[in-house]
Amino acid sequence: MKRFRVELIAATPNPQQCIFAAMHQDYFEGFVASERQQWPEEAKAGEICVKRLLAGERGHYGPLEHPQITLNVGWFPHSVMQQARTHRVGVSFDVQSMRYTGERISRAANGELELEEVFYLRPVGSYSDRQGKKYDYTPEERAKDLALCRTAAERYREMLAAGFAEEHARGILPFDYRQHFVVSFSLRAFLHFMDLRAKLDAQQEIRELCDLLWPHFQTWAPEIALWYEKSRLHKARLAP
């Protein structure tokens, strides 16, 4: 069962018009906000921005920094959060710290929540690492790891009951406990994130995050999404 989830919290309305206005102000004598009635409608604005800013590797990414999108990301393993947070420019995060939240781990130890609701283990299957080494993750191996998660959850519960601080007790948890976070991107930073994390040598789970982020972008800025899909998505074409 897939638990990974991404929900929209808020986004700049009419992001492509917003980019258009920023671009237009660069070469327009007047005050661009006063000319709102003359702005092209949202889809047309997107097409114009693609043509004048992006097509043919023009690389005029600056105006793409104005619109913002905020998403809630849920049930991803700690490793994904850690990787995502390496992107600092035009991105902001608020993350469950496990200094204030850990009740769910104790509840899993009590059997009130499934263990896999709070810990992430890869599905059974065949895998390879970045050097191409192949291996199988069998049901037997996975069962051993689940048992380890159970033991850790029980010890965590015991530590909290004995008065330990959450920040102390979290240290004994398996690395990939699940964590929720809120992330905001400028539209440019969103595409930069996709450049780096949707490419095929990125870790499987963060690529799955990209798969869930992408439909939100397509709904938000469809014409730019279309350009990005054709010219960059999964192609590891890294912008500076």
Ligand X SMILES: Cc1cc2nc3c(=O)[nH]c(=O)nc-3n(C[C@H](O)[C@H](O)[C@H](O)COP(=O)(O)OP(=O)(O)OC[C@H]3O[C@@H](n4cnc5c(N)ncnc54)[C@H](O)[C@@H]3O)c2cc1C
Binding site for ligand X (CB under 6 A): 86-89, 192, 196-197, 201-202, 240
Q: Which is nearer to ligand X, 150 or 199 (CB)?
A: 199
Contact criterion met (CB below 8 Å) for 109 and 150: yes
Closest CB 239 distance from ligand X, rounded Å: 7
Closest CB 87 distance from ligand X, rounded Å: 3
Q: Which is nearer to ligand X, 89 or 162 (CB)?
A: 89
Contact criterion met (CB below 8 Å) for 216 and 98: no
Closest CB 212 distance from ligand X, rounded Å: 18
Q: Which is nearer to ligand X, 136 or 201 (CB)?
A: 201
Q: Which is nearer to ligand X, 178 or 197 (CB)?
A: 197
The secondary structure element, H or E, covering residue 10 is: strand 5-11
Closest CB 60 distance from ligand X, rounded Å: 15
Closest CB 89 distance from ligand X, rounded Å: 4
Q: How far apart are CA 146 and CA 5, in angstroms?
A: 22
Contact criterion met (CB below 8 Å) for 52 and 16: no
Contact criterion met (CB below 8 Å) for 198 and 233: yes
Q: Which is nearer to ligand X, 196 or 226 (CB)?
A: 196
Q: Provide the b/e sequence for 208-218 (b: ≥16 CB within 10 Å).
A: ebbebbbebbe
Contact criterion met (CB below 8 Å) for 207 and 83: no
The torsion of the CA quartet 181, 184, 190, 195, rounded to 10 degrees, works out to -40
